[in-house]
A and B are shown apart, each in its own frame.
Chain A
């Protein structure tokens, strides 16, 4: 079972196969999980389309399978995976992070409390929030 860690959460990709730094998933699985679908224009979600890099199509699309790791890296984001390809982490690039913070919209998150209940920052919209980190170390 392949697990993909993304900014939106964790996804299971049962039919995924690793080929070096490529992660091949069936296009319909990708669409079902993320909303990104393969079109003639490239990999598209809503109005946004990422064109398949010319001359390197087979690194990104093979038949009905897509390499989302390739697309994600092509967009300038960090990707890494365990040696056996069972866990992949799709991160956010520095530019994206910086842009998000410069908008001054506080990035939302969902984290559990001790009882395992998930809390989102957006649960507290309407209040002034003092968000503070600490650690036992």
Chain B
């Protein structure tokens, strides 16, 4: 979905690096094959990026300037909680919600493009102090959870599924904010999406808390 932004900025010093947090080999393939992006798509079976950048959901993004400095720390990449109003049988979203969803995505994509074209002059690029303030906090439990997740995936790769899954379960329990850990492990529907009743239960249990972190950007829905 970033192909359009990438194409529109083509001649600048800008690149999209898209990372699939998919632990199951081949799961990401059909999506990559369908989209055929012209920028790098990398496979992150161990969710290394989640550990390094404190990512808890997808899509999340980090903006990194040409000197390798973070100018926007890990944030939701323009998604919105509109899907929570989806009819769970028909999978239809109310029209108004669908509009807000689309507008949020468009606003975020426009901001990425603005930054790609203007660099640090973009209003969306944080100065170091503002960027630093927005680095998400990480707990020791979460750090341990990432380590357990990595161990679990290594065991799964060796075919040691029972023990591997135990470590993945423990990791998710230690890091309940991580939808990446939970959904990676959860049962999937016939399109490969972790959107079975247990997912909806867990989303409902959020109550007023957001599923996607609110993006700190002008024009984003509340």
Using CB atoms and an 8 Å cutoff, list the residues of chain A in contact with chain B.
Answer: 3, 5, 77-83, 87-94, 97-98, 100-102, 104-107, 109, 111-114, 119, 121-122, 124-137
Contact = CB atoms under 8 A, between A and B. Distances in A.
Interface stretch (B81-89, B186-194, B200-208): B186-194
A135 B143 contact: no
Nearest to A129: B64
Contacts of A132: 2, 16-19, 59-61, 77
A97 B73 CA distance: 13
Contacts of B146: 78, 91-92
Given A87-B155, A104-B132, A128-B116, A136 B16 contact: no
Nearest to B39: A130
B43 A91 contact: no
B13 A126 contact: yes
Contacts of A105: 68-70
B131 to A, nearest CB: 6
Identify the interface centre among A94, A97, A127, A129: most chain B CB within 10 Å of its CB: A129
Contacts of A83: 163
Given A91-B51, A129-B65, A133-B21, 14 more contacts: A3-B154, A78-B140, A78-B148, A90-B147, A101-B135, A105-B70, A113-B41, A114-B29, A126-B13, A127-B14, A130-B15, A130-B116, A135-B20, A136-B31
B160 A82 contact: yes
Interface residues of B, number: 82
A97 B140 CA distance: 10
30 contacts: A80-B147, A87-B158, A90-B147, A102-B132, A102-B135, A104-B128, A105-B69, A106-B62, A109-B52, A111-B43, A111-B48, A113-B42, A113-B43, A114-B32, A119-B42, A121-B17, A121-B64, A126-B66, A127-B14, A128-B63, A129-B63, A130-B14, A132-B18, A133-B50, A133-B60, A133-B61, A133-B77, A136-B22, A137-B193, A137-B194
Interface string B35-75: 00000111110001111111100111111111111100100
A127 B211 CA distance: 31
